[in-house]
Amino acid sequence: MTEPSTKPAARTPGVVQPDVPDEVIRVLNVLPSASMVVAPDGSVLRCNARATGLGLVSRSSVTIPDIRHLIERVVEDGHAREQEMRVRRPPLGRELLELRVRVAPLGTGAILILIDDLAEERRVDVVRRDFVANVSHELKTPVGALALLAEAVLAASDDPEQVRHFAERMQVEASRLSHLVQDVIDLSRLQGDDPMTRAEVVDVDELVRRAIDEVRTLAGRQDIELLTGDPCGALVYGDERQLLAALRNLLANAISYSPSHTRVAVGTRQVDQVVEIAVKDQGIGIAPNDVDRVFERFYRVDPARSRVTGGTGLGLAIVKHVSQNHGGECTVWSEPGVGSTFTIRLPEYQPSSSSVDRAIDLDATDSASGEDQA
């Protein structure tokens, strides 16, 4: 597991802030919980990437009012407190977080806050159990096909033409199997991982440009035109590799589920501290009954078509997890025969306004020094 790094936030000019002892910072760096250290006035002195990832800190402040109240009570009487609370995950507010929040005064006047996401812990357990069952089932198809094809090769061993035919089909099944295994590895990493520990500032226009580049050949094969809108200049904070994989999956689907000579367009925009990346196609669309289910693992509207496109049924599950792990979401609008638009929404990274977020960009090496940076 990658260590979360606890980073100093910039000091408010003219205000003497309490010290954060080195030992505390070292302990926070190895705890899996989201953690912060705040001054008695509630301003955040230190926080780790997990706290930012859950949207609990923005612009050197604690975003959740219930947590702020708990801190105030601890500041008032100096007694440590623990409380469980259900809150909406900032900034989008779509996801419900079930938090266990522990607040304790440190000797120096600063306040320590440790936060665990109980819903996430439960969800990961359930997801893991289902996932193992689903994967075993899905692996049976290509493995079974390979076994049958091997038998066919043996039976046709004196007919070179037939042997070549079956061997080619074995190659297709083997490549399907390897895609499936890769997607399973990616998804299980996403389901158990905290992407914000490898997070960096990501330029959205550059992300779109790279994703488009990666699907250019696929689009060319079907004579599908790839279009992009004006650059949006937005930044997000996250794992670039994962974000790129998510966008590439949406683009690959848009191409695979569209007839030749159509267009696939990517548009980006910023609305209220949220960055939207929309992938729009003029493809076959998705019926209303299926549209809510396409993000489920291994759900395919038309399994036969998905087999032809080489789909694993995991592409959109990966997109959903990447979006959620970054504090965002992925939604879909679709109409059969007209096309689909998949939109990823992510919290916008604002370098000029958030000293805490800027601080956690720094390399982890100074995190154990305990020196707040002015």
Interface residues with ligand ADP (CB under 6 A)? 249, 253-254, 257, 281, 283-286, 294, 299-302, 306, 311-317, 340
How many Å apart are CA 44 and CA 40, to the nearest integer? 9
How many Å apart are CA 326 and CA 346, to the nearest integer? 7
CB of 341 to ligand ADP, least distance (A): 9
Nearest to ligand ADP of 32, 310 (CB atom): 310
Nearest to ligand ADP of 48, 340 (CB atom): 340
CB of 301 to ligand ADP, least distance (A): 3
Nearest to ligand ADP of 268, 340 (CB atom): 340
If we measure between CA atoms, which residue out of 301, 298, 373, 288 comes closest to residue 338? Answer: 288
Nearest to ligand ADP of 31, 174 (CB atom): 174
106 near 21, Cβ under 8 Å? yes
CB of 158 to ligand ADP, least distance (A): 38
CB of 309 to ligand ADP, least distance (A): 6
DSSP 56-84: -EETTEE--HHHHHHHHHHHHH---EEEE
CB of 252 to ligand ADP, least distance (A): 8
Place of tokens 């990823």: 344
How many Å apart are CA 194 and CA 208, to the nearest integer? 23
Show the beta-strand stretches assigned E in 336-370.
Answer: 339-347
CB of 172 to ligand ADP, least distance (A): 15
- CA contacts within 13 A on the Cβ side of 221: 8
338 near 30, Cβ under 8 Å? no
CB of 183 to ligand ADP, least distance (A): 8
Nearest to ligand ADP of 259, 351 (CB atom): 259
Residue type, 33: S
CB of 334 to ligand ADP, least distance (A): 7
Compute the Cα dihedral for 214, 218, 221, 223 and give only its sign: negative
Nearest to ligand ADP of 321, 326 (CB atom): 321
CB of 255 to ligand ADP, least distance (A): 8
Nearest to ligand ADP of 298, 350 (CB atom): 298
Nearest to ligand ADP of 276, 348 (CB atom): 276
How many Å apart are CA 290 and CA 253, to the nearest integer? 15
Q: Give the CA radius of gyration of the chain.
A: 24
In b/e form, how buried is each residue of 51-74, taking b as 16+ CB within 10 angstroms? bbbbbbbbebebbbeebeebbeeb
Backbone angles phi, psi at 304, to 5 degrees: -65, -45
- CA contacts within 13 A on the Cβ side of 270: 15
Cβ neighbors of 307 (< 8 A, separation 6 or more) are none
Nearest to ligand ADP of 300, 326 (CB atom): 300
